[in-house]
Amino acid sequence: MTAADHLPQRAKFLPAGDTALVVEFGDRVDEHLSALVLALARRVEAAAIAGVVETVPTFRSLMVHYDPLTISNAHLKERIKPLLSQLAASLSPGRHWRLPACYDRKLGLDLAEIAERTGLSEAQVVAQHSSAPFRVYMVGFLPGFAYLGGLPAALELPRRENPRLKVEAGSIAIAMAMSVIYSIESPGGWNILARTPVALWDLRRTPSALVTAGDQVSFTPISLAEYEELAGKARAGELRMTPQSQEA
């Protein structure tokens, strides 16, 4: 029996240009596939394969960037195949971040519309979102931009018909079955529910991205005045966040 006979859930190898290889585990977004992706990422990193530059977990696949002058696509594929044998989808809790979030209408630009479209009161929308335990499925699209799974079914909505040209950094938004946190100012079509003063991407920090795939995130509602105070500290580089698992 070869290593390929053990590939979980028909894992597929897909080329991605001249310097990347994708290992795809499925065609949906769920915790099981995410756990497989992260488990393979850990194995690839532990294997220290010469020529591998970086691994990038996504919802359902792992992209492996490599130096083609050091290792070929075909050789990299053969090195990764044995790592897929008996791969277990272990749902590691990761780090747990409790992020302050202001749901005031001045920052939660779509809060009233979300309440109307879901048939909930604004207070119920806030309660549902802030009580949900979210899992970081991937970080991408923009540096530090976090995709969070675990949105309560009552809050599931399609994206906005008319995307905004400008969404402020720190905006917390929802669409489909996910929530996201905008790491930097950018256009966006998600429904904006709140904003956190915590910088998801800060070049003054090492690493610059606050969260990573596999982490957990929960939101603590704060007032507009509290947001302004914390945002001032964040701009000055004085707002320090510590994962719950590392708190005293």
Task: Look up the CATH number of the domain holding residue 233.
Answer: 2.40.100.10
Q: Is 224 in the same domain as 106? A: yes
Verify that 123 and 166 share a domain, yes or no. Answer: yes
Token code pair at residue 129: 């979102």
Q: Which residues contact 198 (CB under 8 A, 6 or more apart)?
A: 99, 100, 170, 210, 230, 234, 239, 241
pTM for the whole structure: 0.78
Range of the domain at 114: 96-246
Per-residue pLDDT of the chain (248 residues; tens, 9 = 90+): 343 444 455 788 998 889 999 999 887 777 778 888 888 888 998 999 999 998 888 888 889 999 999 999 999 999 999 998 888 776 666 799 999 999 999 999 999 999 999 999 999 999 999 999 998 988 888 899 999 998 999 999 999 999 999 999 999 999 998 999 999 999 999 999 999 999 999 999 889 999 988 899 999 999 999 999 999 999 998 998 999 854 43
Residues 171 and 236 in one domain: yes
Q: How many domains does the chain have?
A: 2
Place of tokens 């905004």: 164
Same domain, 211 and 106: yes
Q: Which of residues 33, 61, 84 is at a domain's end?
A: 84
Q: Does residue 128 sit in helix, strand or coil? A: helix
Do both 121 and 59 map to the same domain?
A: no
Residue type present at position 17 = G
